[in-house]
Amino acid sequence: MKYLVIGAGGTGGSIGAFMTVADKDITVIARGKHLEAIQNNGLRMETTSKGNYTVYPVKACEMKHYNEQPDVIFVCVKGYSLEDTIPFIKRVAHKNTVVIPVLNIYGTGGRMQKLLPDLLVTDGCIYIAAEIKEPGTILQKGDIFRIVYGERNKPEGQPVLYGIASDLKDSGITSVVSDDIGRDALQKFAYVSPMAACGAYYDIDAGAAQQKGKVRETFVALMREIEALAQALGIHFDVDIVETNLYILDTLEPTASTSMQRDLQQGKNSEMDGLIFEVVRLGREYGVKMPTYEMIAEKFGFKV
């Protein structure tokens, strides 16, 4: 199958690099100095599990220069850039193209499906701690690399989804075709949202949350509030999300941080609305108390 990755940051760049090494037909959409470095020198990967290496060549271009028809599109942009991808996807997709968004924001697939009614748009999420270290270089902080995706309200997805899973496995990426992607995507959100909230509120890296104390207690409190929201939504996790997510946290390098936190530090646009403010709004809509989320949202200007 022919693959396309929209966004070549820590998430999309890692997918592109791993699948290129496995000789899959994959192109990444990038821009600016990062794109220039990839085109000239390949994509350098600095990882804990595979060491440091450079993948060359990597097929990479801007949206306007991509003229193929992919069978699978991984959407790996920030939530605030999502709408910019829709006209591009409509231009390049064929009728059987599968779109797999792996954004941090919960419910992205459902929102994209309304904008792309003629395509199969799954929901999805990714477990990875990675970022652009410098143009042309992706830094992974931890061994975990897992993509979970599936069709909404369908316990068994179409056969093509399992073919994608096989290609990801060949590439060294753990993949799960979910039998309940609403549950599994919210479970991932129950990690990334509390971690982003803690990181931004206390201005800390993962190391501070790995130690006993106020930061870790806040992280747990936020997860419990997501758990209460899930129950109100009729979603029941099949794992203890606190235990599961603390394990994920504790496997990261202490210097790991969230993309939202890094964007705030650099004065960039961030996913604050979708990762924090939206949780408060959902809590109010479903009658779930969110005292810890409200405390953090208020600090960043949300009117509680």
The C-alpha atoms of residue 268 and residue 81 are separated, in whole angstroms, by 12
Question: How, if at all, do strands 59-61 and 25-29 pair?
Answer: parallel
Residue 304 has pLDDT above 70, yes or no: no
Per the listing, tokens 């207690």 go with 217
* Measured CA distances, 173 to 10, 133, 186 (Å): 14, 21, 21
Distance CA 298, CA 102 (A): 28
Which of the four pLDDT bands, split at 50, 70 and 90, describes residue 303? Answer: confident
Q: Return the residue matching tokens 């792996």.
A: 102
Does 85 share its domain with 213?
no
Q: Helix 241-251 and helix 214-232: axis angle, to 10°? A: 140
Per-residue pLDDT, averaged over 160-170, amounts to 97
Domain boundary among 179, 205, 231: 179
Same domain, yes or no: 129 and 161: yes
Six token digits for residue 205: 């890296």
Sorting pLDDT into bands at 50, 70 and 90, what band is 155?
Answer: confident
Token code pair at residue 273: 């609305």
pTM of the model as a whole? 0.91
Q: Is residue 304 part of a domain?
A: no
Residue 47 lies in a domain: yes
Peptide bond preceding 194: is omega within 30 degrees of 0, i.e. cis?
no
Q: Which domain holds residue 172?
A: 2-179
The lowest-confidence range among 7-16, 129-138, 154-163 is 154-163
Which pLDDT score, from 0 to 100, does residue 42 have? 98
Residues 301 and 293: their CA atoms lie apart, in Å, by: 12
- Domain closes at, from 131, 151, 179: 179
Residues 6+ apart with CB under 8 A from 11: 76, 102, 126, 128, 130
